[in-house]
Amino acid sequence: MDVCPRAGILRYFAELKDPRMNRTRKHELPDMIAIAICALICGADGWTQVEQFARCKLKWFRTFLHLPNGIPSHDTFGRVFARLDPDAFERCFVRWVRSLAADDATPLVAIDGKTLRRSFDNAAGAEAIHMISAYCRDNQTVLGQVACEAKTNEITALPKLLDLLDLAGAVVTADAMHCQTDTAKRIVNAQGDYILQVKDNQPQLHEDLKLLFDSGLGNDCTSVPYEEAEDTDGGHGRVETRRCRVTHEAGWLADRWPGIGSVACVERTREVGRECTRTRHYYISSLPTPTAEQMLEHTRGHWSVENSLHWVLDVQFREDDRRIRTGHAAENFSRLSRIALNLLKADTTKKVGIQTKRLCAGWDHDYLLHLLTAEH
């Protein structure tokens, strides 16, 4: 089997700078990246498992990788990825992800953060690493991620992530933490649109929207035109109804919120047996004329980042159980997980779930090589 090691995804990482001095490089960085990606696809959860996976498949890896000194040890994997520049690694990742994008789609990009819970290091006084990710609901792809620097939060990390992404034509959704004028400005300047949830961190705006929707439109105020839509679903004894009201009369916010085009309220009613709870959520958006159905779909679609990304990483990739802590290793291992997940989701040759695809990759060398080299 004659396959170039830089085929498929690997060519996007060909220019990644090796952090080691030339005289200490016994193993080539592209080989190590290829091995790590394959190992994570097939279920490896740490550097020791990455090494053992590679040793079990040494004969196969030699068919398309150089491996001048055999398989690196787990310590070598750990040291190299701990020193590998995460920003440069992310730029390579983003270039690859852009090649997967569909040109005819208007993507919904959901922004949300996740803590790598066991990445803390008490001895070194290091807190657990918090990653903020951008997830495309439409093609189920992680578009990018960055780590929040120590003693900061998602608000300061988000501009760095947004600057990496191509947001032209996209609708970006984010929770109330990111309801910031700078965030709105960056998205609009990148030729995208935003839908930002509003809570008490914007007290005056929150109060104004509550007054508008709860007292004004809630009493069928006819002076402000609005649209309304509703959907219902349920299962396992639960019934959930979502009712959205949206108005395009948002000019009164234009002096502060760049590109503001509409505001909305989504009321969620959840019934479980005899218990019924009702909550209201408020949003501002740069979308100029969204229908209530569109706004309902977008706000609901935001949760794809939790259900299709974070849940999968926790349950199937066991991300919260990892005790990788040295240098940039935790962040870079997390990025490898997202590469593996993107490859698995992009593949359409097997109509099975992620876990079954991972098993198939471990069993079938041809399928694993297909995932690594396919032009999606």
Q: Looking at the predicted structure, is the pLDDT value of residue 1 above 50?
A: no
Q: Looking at the predicted structure, is the pLDDT value of residue 90 above 60?
A: yes
More confident residue, 20 or 375: 20
What local confidence, expressed as pLDDT, does residue 68 receive? 94
Q: What are phi and psi of 77, to 5 degrees?
A: -55, -50
* Measured distance CA(68)–CA(180) in Å, rounded: 51
Q: Looking at the predicted structure, is the pLDDT value of residue 14 above 90?
A: no
In this prediction, what percent of the chain has a pLDDT beyond 70? 90
Say if 162 falls within a structural domain: no
pLDDT digits (tens, 9 = 90+) for 244-284: 999 998 999 999 999 999 999 999 998 888 889 999 999 99
Type and span of the H or E element at 186: helix 181-189
* Measured distance CA(34)–CA(39) in Å, rounded: 9
Q: Are 330 and 284 in a shared domain?
A: no
Final residue in a domain of this structure, among 265, 290, 315 = 290
Query: In the predicted model, what is the mean pLDDT of residues 117-128?
Result: 58
Q: Are 202 and 285 in a shared domain?
A: yes
Nearest to 263 by CA among 216, 306, 310: 216
Final residue in a domain of this structure, among 271, 290, 309 = 290
Q: Are 209 and 273 in a shared domain?
A: yes
Q: Are 200 and 282 in a shared domain?
A: yes
Q: Are 279 and 361 in a shared domain?
A: no
Q: Are 331 and 247 in a shared domain?
A: no
Q: Looking at the predicted structure, is the pLDDT value of residue 125 above 70?
A: no
What local confidence, expressed as pLDDT, does residue 262 receive? 96
Q: Report the interhelical angle of 365-373 vs 29-41 (nearest 10°).
A: 120
pLDDT digits (tens, 9 = 90+) for 205-224: 999 999 888 876 555 555 67
Q: Residue 5 — very low, low, confident or very high, per pLDDT cuts 50/70/90?
A: very low
Q: Looking at the predicted structure, is the pLDDT value of residue 2 above 60?
A: no
Q: Looking at the predicted structure, is the pLDDT value of residue 121 above 70?
A: no
pLDDT digits (tens, 9 = 90+) for 194-205: 999 999 999 999
Query: Which residues constitute the domain of residue 282?
Result: 194-290
Q: Looking at the predicted structure, is the pLDDT value of residue 132 above 70?
A: yes
Q: Are 74 and 23 in a shared domain?
A: yes
Number of domains in the chain: 2
Q: Residue 347 — very low, low, confident or very high, per pLDDT cuts 50/70/90?
A: very high
Say if 220 falls within a structural domain: yes
Flag whether the pTM goes above 0.75. yes
Q: Residue 73 — very low, low, confident or very high, per pLDDT cuts 50/70/90?
A: very high
Q: Are 13 and 72 in a shared domain?
A: yes
Q: Are 281 and 358 in a shared domain?
A: no
Say if 229 falls within a structural domain: yes
Say if 132 falls within a structural domain: no
What local confidence, expressed as pLDDT, does residue 224 receive? 73
What local confidence, expressed as pLDDT, does residue 3 receive? 44
List, edge to edge, every strand of the sheet that includes 108-115: 141-147, 130-136, 108-115, 171-174, 193-198, 275-285, 262-272, 238-247, 227-235
| Average pLDDT of the chain to the nearest whole number | 88
> Considering only 33-42, 74-83, 96-105, which range has the smallest mean pLDDT?
96-105
Cβ proximity of 38 and 65 under 8 Å:
no
* Measured distance CA(296)–CA(299) in Å, rounded: 5
